[in-house]
């Protein structure tokens, strides 16, 4: 496995501000670059108090401006929320400012509740799903479109921004294979179809002008610390956050809590659901995390692993990143 990468949501924690979250995102990106991470991706979410990466292209630009070598991109932009031309102009601008460093992952979900989706789009398209057509349109805007083409993206035309298809089901795997694009599976919160999706993608892949062989990335939740016990404690922050989302409460990311607090706070059936959702993870000491990542590599043979995970304490987050990088470099 040649590359490993990092996905960040610019998480806003209880007791902190959006400005704090954005500053921590830049700090994480800089440290990730020092540690040898290949990409630093940010994800589009809306109407979530605990996530500050809604204006994804803006934040991608800020991170790219404050780093030197690491690729920076969207993991991803939720294409139904935008016109392909608007996305092409935004990421074409980024690719012009930071040549050879910008990626664009595309998702089909809204990244929001339906009321927020309506606020983003003003209306919801009632026609058949246009996602495949929109992806092709966007790819064309990034290509070397000749003069005389009715609509071209400036900036964007000729930038050849690498486009990825993101997914958490079989749909994205089929589409990425059909068009011939790299594929990233969101197994860090949707583990069930990972193996089947990778098989479909690899078996059905068609070489294309964008990619001549399949390239599959899998996302792994990582929370690493000096001991297994400390890592489980730090991860409880994310467990509490997911439980609150399932209960319809949301809010900023809560601090970690001991096991007895989790037992009182989260009903058993909800806890089981959260643990399953987050099960594609490496949580523990350096040796535990290394063993889990090696097992994932051996079972799924990803071309690339991208790690994710929100840790309440900034210093603990940086330490987790360092432990993960050491394990990933050894794969």
Flag whether pLDDT at 32 surpasses 80.
Answer: yes
pLDDT tens digits for 145-175? 999 999 999 999 999 999 999 999 999 999 9
pLDDT of residue 112: 62
pLDDT of residue 248: 85
**pLDDT confidence bin for 128, thresholds 50/70/90:** very low
**pLDDT confidence bin for 40, thresholds 50/70/90:** very high
Output DSSP code: residue 88.
H
Q: Could you give the angle at which helices 56-65 and 18-35 cross, rounded to 10 degrees?
A: 50
Flag whether pLDDT at 129 surpasses 90.
Answer: no
The answer to whether the CB of 173 falls within 8 A of the CB of 185 is yes
The CATH number given to 3-221+303-329 is: 3.20.20.30
Q: How many Å apart are CA 82 and CA 141, to the nearest integer?
A: 14
Q: How many Å apart are CA 6 and CA 40, to the nearest integer?
A: 5
pLDDT of residue 111: 61
pLDDT tens digits for 61-109? 999 999 999 999 999 999 988 999 999 999 999 999 999 999 999 999 8
Flag whether pLDDT at 29 surpasses 80.
Answer: yes
Query: Residue ranges per domain, the chain?
Result: 3-221+303-329
**pLDDT confidence bin for 119, thresholds 50/70/90:** confident
**pLDDT confidence bin for 124, thresholds 50/70/90:** low
247: alpha, beta or left, given left = phi > 0 and alpha = psi -120 to 50? alpha
15: alpha, beta or left, given left = phi > 0 and alpha = psi -120 to 50? left
pLDDT tens digits for 270-310? 999 999 999 999 999 999 999 999 999 999 999 999 999 99
pLDDT of residue 126: 40
Instruction: Count Cβ neighbours within 10 Å for each residue of 6-34 and write b for 16 or more, e otherwise.
Output: bbbbbbbbeebeeeebbebbbebbbbbbe
Flag whether pLDDT at 60 surpasses 60.
Answer: yes
Rounded to the nearest integer, the mean pLDDT of the chain is: 94
Nearest alpha carbon to residue 24 among 10, 7, 42, 45 = 10
pLDDT of residue 250: 84
Residue partners of 41: CB distance under 8 A and separation at least 6: 5, 6, 7, 8, 72, 73, 74, 75, 76, 103, 105, 306
**pLDDT confidence bin for 203, thresholds 50/70/90:** very high
Q: What is the pTM of this model?
A: 0.95
């Amino acid at each position: 496995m040649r590359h490993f990468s990092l996905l960040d949501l610019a998480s806003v924690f209880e007791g902190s501000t959006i400005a704090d979250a954005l500053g921590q995102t830049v700090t994480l990106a800089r440290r990730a670059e020092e540690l040898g991470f290949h990409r630093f991706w940010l994800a589009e979410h809306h109407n979530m108090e605990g996530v500050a990466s809604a204006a994804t292209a803006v934040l991608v630009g800020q991170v790219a401006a404050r780093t030197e070598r690491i690729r920076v991109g969207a993991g991803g932009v939720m294409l139904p929320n935008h016109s392909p031309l608007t996305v092409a102009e935004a990421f074409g601008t980024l690719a012009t400012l930071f040549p050879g460093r910008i990626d664009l992952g595309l998702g089909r979900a809204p990244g929001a509740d339906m009321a927020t989706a309506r606020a983003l789009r003003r209306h919801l398209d009632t026609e058949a799903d246009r996602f495949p057509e929109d992806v092709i349109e966007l790819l064309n805007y990034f290509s070397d479109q000749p003069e005389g083409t009715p609509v071209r993206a400036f900036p964007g035309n000729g930038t050849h921004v690498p486009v990825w298809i993101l997914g958490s089901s079989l749909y994205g795997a089929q589409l990425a294979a059909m068009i011939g694009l790299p594929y990233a599976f969101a197994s860090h919160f949707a583990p069930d179809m990972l193996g089947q999706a990778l098989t479909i993608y690899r078996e059905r892949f068609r070489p294309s002008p964008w990619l001549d062989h399949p390239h599959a990335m899998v996302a792994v939740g990582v929370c690493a610390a000096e001991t297994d016990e400390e890592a489980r404690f730090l991860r409880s922050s994310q467990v509490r956050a997911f439980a609150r989302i399932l209960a319809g409460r949301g809010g900023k990311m809560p601090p970690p809590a001991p096991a007895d607090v989790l037992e009182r706070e989260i009903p058993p059936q909800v806890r089981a659901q959260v643990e399953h959702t987050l099960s594609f993870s490496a949580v523990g000491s350096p040796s535990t995390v290394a063993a889990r990542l090696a097992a994932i590599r051996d079972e799924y043979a990803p071309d690339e692993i991208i790690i994710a995970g929100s840790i309440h304490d900034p210093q603990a987050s940086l330490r987790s990143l360092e432990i993960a990088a050491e394990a990933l470099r050894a794969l």
